[in-house]
Amino acid sequence: METRIRIFLLSGLLALSGCATTRGAEPASGSATTGSGVDSSSVITPQVERREVRVADIDTENWEAGAYIGSLSVEDFEVNVVYGARLAYHISEDFFAEALYGMSDAGISSYERLSGSAPLLTDSEREFRYYSLGFGWNVLPGEVFLGGTRAYNSAVYLTAGAGSTRFAGDDRFTVTLGAGARVLVKDWLAAHLDIRDHILEVDVVGKSKQTHNFEATVSLTAFF
């Protein structure tokens, strides 16, 4: 019985010494291990292809000039074509100053059409000429995507200005309020869509009243 116990204990000691020898054994030739004990031959090195990113080349010029065309609704005098020029200076990314000069011709008034009386204004007095100086605020700068693959810098802005309008044979103080959207088609070329309200006093029928003359235009401008 005692002999069996000794044989059992010797067998256990031999088994423990064999495990310790296996753990301390050197790896086979031709393989290497990292500091953490991981075989380097099993590490996968990712092959990442670097794509070339093209950064948008936006002009840094602050001046912008161009021409516009659209429709002008002179209150009580129909809707007519309007065209003009715009000059702007970008003070910062958010604010800009602008100058406008536009021309149109008023049509026949509703009073003339309904009453059948003599014309209230001569052809020269129907000329609607205005200029305005004001400021703009880019309230929603961002980007628009056309075709799903190309992005264009854009902005939605508000404008306010004051100036003068030559209409019905007199120069009339005018307040101009508006809103618009701008998209940079090229780094130097922009397309605009604008809506403006020219507010002025008119006394064509003998009674002075405040009129709202709405204008919608499209334009192209260049930075320089």
Question: 131-140 pLDDT, tens per residue?
Answer: 999 999 999 9
Q: How many residues does the chain have?
A: 224
What is d(CA 221, CA 67) in angstroms, rounded to the nearest whole number? Answer: 7
Q: Is the pLDDT of residue 13 over 80?
A: no
Domain chopping of the chain, boundaries: 63-223
The H-or-E segment that residue 9 falls in is helix 2-23
Structure tokens at 72: 């002008």
What is d(CA 122, CA 125) in angstroms, rounded to the nearest whole number? Answer: 5
CB 69 within 8 A of CB 80: no
pTM of this structure: 0.72
- Mean pLDDT of the 15-20 span: 55
- Mean pLDDT of the 158-182 span: 97
Of 19, 77, 20, whose CA–CA distance to 200 is shortest? 77
Structure tokens at 95: 């604010």
Q: Give the architecture (CATH level 2) of 63-223.
A: Beta Barrel (2.40)
Question: 95-104 pLDDT, tens per residue?
Answer: 999 999 999 9
Q: What is the pLDDT of residue 48?
A: 75
